[in-house]
Amino acid sequence: MDRFDSLRLFVRIVERGSFTRAAADLSIPRATATHAIKALEERLGARLLERTTRKVTATLDGQQYYQRCQRILAELEAADEDVARRAREPEGTLRLDLHGSHASRIVLPHIDSFQRLYPRIHLVVGSGDRLVDLVAEGVDCVVRSGMPEDSSLSARPLALIPEVTCASPDYLQRYGRPQHPDELAAHLAVGFFARHQDRRYPFEFLVDGVVRRVELASRIDVNDANSYVACALRGCGLIQLPRYRVERELANGELVEVLAGYPSPGLPVHALYPRHRQPSRRVRVFIDWVSVIYAERFGPLDRHQLQP
């Protein structure tokens, strides 16, 4: 194994916390990985990794070496990609993670067109609402709603999705139909909270051009989008969510829009990838392709509205 391959292996072991997972990512035997790191430590005269039965972590020297290796490898990969990008078709495995409804309703219904464009890319697609650690889990790119909060990730804006506030006819018959956000103090909502943190999401409305956030009381809180809609259909309260999620229910009268004169500012969507890594050609072509998919579904994007 040459010097640069040893550096790539060392960086991947630190990121994955495992010799076995890093070796699998790089398609080499675990014994080869162990021997290469031992040779690297002997050459440097320093211990770079602490090994336990459960996890591998960098020592203080190893952490400093890891940070410098990241920069060196990023520059090397960027140079390689710049020279080769026009001369070759992107190929290899692309690991994605998409929010559940984005996967099933927006991206995957068109995925055959991506495969026709890039037949040598093998897609591995995870979906759900779980927060993914891109580096630790070996994921190349995710598509997520909301404004990015993780400074270790680079973000490419994809869309600003229109939202709707609605409730079932049964709920509105019991509680009345609000005419202004100020009237919501007398109403109930279906609460929605993030799985990975104790955080509730308020409703948002544009009132005289200013975003107003309103906390509503609730008698039931959920952390799943399908459960959120199901509770609203049973009259448990108002919900605010992307319109595309309930187009059928609005059309057939199972849900009724309220406060249409005070729309939500919209839900931003971004493609995210690790900031410290030069994005591979596979990641770049996917983001370019999925940007078109979102533009066709939700219209042209004003990126100034979506700056993280």
Express each pLDDT in 125-169 by its tens digit.
988 666 666 767 778 888 988 887 776 788 899 999 999 999 999
Rounded mean pLDDT, 275-279: 70
Q: Which pair of tokens denotes residue 62?
A: 């190893």
Tally of CA atoms within 13 A in the half-sphere of 197 that contains its CB:
4
Q: Among residues 288, 286, 281, which one has the least CA distance to residue 88? A: 281
Domains assigned to the chain: 3-84 (1.10.10.10), 92-158+268-306 (3.40.190.10), 163-257 (3.40.190.10)
Q: What is the pLDDT of residues 211-231, one digit of tens each?
A: 999 999 999 999 888 899 999
State residue 168's pLDDT score: 97
Q: What is the pLDDT of residues 69-96, one digit of tens each?
A: 988 888 888 777 776 665 567 888 999 9
Bridge partners for 240 per DSSP: 165
Statement: residue 307 has pLDDT above 60? no
How many other C-beta atoms are found inside a 10 Å radius of the C-beta of residue 185? 11
Give the largest CA-CA distance in the chain: 77
How many other C-beta atoms are found inside a 10 Å radius of the C-beta of residue 33? 23
Q: What is the pLDDT of residues 31-48, one digit of tens each?
A: 999 999 999 899 999 999
Above pLDDT 90, what percent of the chain? Answer: 59
Phi, psi torsion values for 201, nearest 5 degrees: -105, 120
Statement: residue 189 has pLDDT above 60? yes
What is the reported pTM? 0.68
- pLDDT class for 101, splitting at 50, 70, 90? confident
- Mean pLDDT over all residues of the chain? 88
Statement: residue 306 has pLDDT above 60? no
State residue 199's pLDDT score: 59
Element (H, E) at 97: strand 92-98
